[in-house]
Amino acid sequence: MNDNIMSTIGLLGRDFYKTLSRFIKCPHASLNHENGILMDLILGWNNLNWSALDEFLWSCIYHSLLNTKYPILECGSGLTTIVAGIIAGQTGNIVWSLENSEEWGARVQKVLTDFRIDSVHLCVKPLRNYGYYHWYDPPLVSMPPKFGLVICDGPYGGTIGGRSGLVPVMRNKLCEGTLILLDDADRPGEQIISEEWRTMLSANVEITGIRKPYFKIKL
């Protein structure tokens, strides 16, 4: 194990590398809650205040495995970037991840580099002021024409407009059948946003998850 990986593991948690290696070997196995892979990844990632819980992470993994026709778009990088990137690398897919924090983006990029996860395009830029909302500033021209799965766990809740910018900015890159996984369905802001998106996209909206619910929005 080289020094770069050892330094990353020291930051993330002693057993993170071991658990990630198990995940890399068989991502499907993580869908079995009894083997504890998801919770070990979450604990090893060492970001319990902000990291996706196992229900949302399970859904991200499950749908990343299913979605092989179109690329994956992620709003807000983190542990989901790592697992979706690993799956994309094994299925011939790619992930485009949008992040506004340079510090957080550097942490995620270090893991991607150390573990040679090259299927992720991590785009780190400050949030852009679109007028009524602030949102990411994606490189639209260089991005794929369509995305089949969107993992939406950012920007953070205190952002002007919250996560509402996803649909107006990226609408032309969402195709029929695209699934949006929107975390934090228990928050009033996300509930308003999900209803706005349902109307704008004529989408089907479902709330799932027990301890920390999230939205599944299907175009």
**pLDDT band at residue 32 using 50, 70 and 90 as cut-offs:** very high
201 occurs within a structural domain: yes
193 occurs within a structural domain: yes
89 occurs within a structural domain: yes
- Please name the residues in contact with 67: beta carbons below 8 A apart, sequence gap of 6 or more: 93, 148, 149, 179
7 occurs within a structural domain: no
CATH classification of the domain holding 123: 3.40.50.150
150 occurs within a structural domain: yes
Q: Are 46 and 17 in contact (CB under 8 A)?
A: no
Parallel, antiparallel, or unpaired for β 95-99 and 174-182? unpaired
Q: Determine the average pLDDT of the residues in 24-39.
A: 93
Is the predicted pLDDT of residue 193 greater than 80, yes or no? yes
Q: Rounded to an integer, what distance in angstroms lies between the CA atom of residue 69 and that of residue 100?
A: 27
**pLDDT band at residue 54 using 50, 70 and 90 as cut-offs:** confident
pLDDT in tens, 142-168: 999 999 999 999 998 899 999 999 999
**pLDDT band at residue 53 using 50, 70 and 90 as cut-offs:** low
Structurally, how many domains does the chain consist of?
1
**pLDDT band at residue 3 using 50, 70 and 90 as cut-offs:** very low
- Which domain covers residue 153, as residue numbers? 52-218
24 occurs within a structural domain: no
28 occurs within a structural domain: no
Give φ, ψ of 98 to 5 degrees: -100, 130
| pTM of the predicted structure, to 2 decimals | 0.92
132 occurs within a structural domain: yes
Cα dihedral sign, 71-167-196-191: positive
pLDDT at site 47: 64
pLDDT at site 7: 44
